[in-house]
Chain A
């Protein structure tokens, strides 16, 4: 019988800080910008 530990899938790891920062910028640019534009529409 094989060792079961070897076939346990690895836990997901967090992306590196640079990638997360880039993601944060993209999120802020899209969600934040659209929200602010919506606020100033009137």
Chain B
């Protein structure tokens, strides 16, 4: 049976002084159980794509000074194409990073990075052909090299859109839909946390989000747990999301200590409820295993195997 000793330290501890002073987030490092990557900003930002075409802008300005409208149009237009490609790539990288902490939800529907890569290739080819005056074949080579380089640095998205749950099982699909909906509520909770100025309340909300993800992972491990966690998914998660949204909207307008204290009390209660919910699911797992061991033992005894 799971006792208090089996409670993960992450969920047992209260807010530490370091967390409060430095604002260290509890889910900064990957969780060894869920293997969730660290949050923060994405490491690749696509800066190279913004920097490399700058000479084109200078070329357009030189063309303007020399009174060459064709140079201004070609260089300026191709520079704008490069910037659009870089911007799409940056958005794609951000979306990809945001996706990495999600297990059950697919946020990105448009392959932004791939479009960014194709635009980079097209812009390179056009620059070689129209601005520099290379032949079409050599321009094509430049475009291809740029796209290969782009793919090696940033990677292109797969052509087929990834499905979070490739299953034909009807019940599994229902569980998957419930998990996706719950995860979207957790995303909203995270968003609300980022707009709250009070570091203690922010950390508490982030910790609730982290506990919620643990419960969702637990349900994903054993989909039958969904029915035991219905109240968590339909009542508590909804409630905390609505309260957090409401607090995030109003706390800047009405700076009330009473409101803050009430919100703190709600968060402490929710943390406890989420912790209990997680423990209950773990306990059920252990109970089920106990029963399976007992059944196996009885079966072995019946068959005369000691």
Contact = CB atoms under 8 A, between A and B. Distances in A.
Q: Is chain B found bound to chain A in the same assembly?
A: yes
B298 interface: no
Contact of A26 (B43, B146, B169, B223): B146
A28 B52 contact: yes
Interface string B41-81: 00110001100111110110011001010010011001000
B59 A38 contact: yes
Given A11-B37, A26-B148, A41-B133, A34 B48 contact: no
Contact of A15 (B63, B123, B152): B152
A8 B59 contact: no
Interface stretch (B15-23, B160-168, B285-293): B160-168
Interface stretch (B124-132, B192-200, B254-262, B275-283): B124-132
Contact of A30 (B146, B153, B163, B172): B146
A26 B100 contact: no
Contacts of A40: 59
B53 A31 contact: yes
Contacts of A9: 162-164, 166
Contact of A4 (B133, B145, B175): B175
Given A31-B124, A35-B56, A41-B71, A3 B222 contact: yes
A interface, over-half SS: helix
A17 to B, nearest CB: 11
Query: How many B residues are at the interface, by size bracket?
Result: 35 or more
B165 A15 contact: no
A3 B149 contact: no
Nearest to B143: A30
B152 A26 contact: yes
Given A2-B172, A7-B167, A34 B103 contact: no
Interface string A1-42: 111110111011011000110111111111110111111111
Contacts of A34: 124, 127-128, 131-132, 142
Given A12-B96, A19-B152, A24-B149, A5 B220 contact: yes
18 contacts: A1-B224, A2-B169, A2-B172, A4-B219, A12-B155, A14-B44, A15-B155, A20-B152, A23-B154, A24-B48, A27-B48, A27-B146, A30-B145, A34-B131, A35-B53, A35-B55, A35-B56, A39-B62
Given A11-B99, A31-B82, 18 more contacts: A2-B169, A3-B222, A4-B165, A4-B176, A9-B164, A11-B100, A12-B155, A26-B148, A28-B149, A31-B49, A31-B52, A35-B55, A35-B59, A38-B74, A39-B56, A40-B59, A41-B59, A42-B63
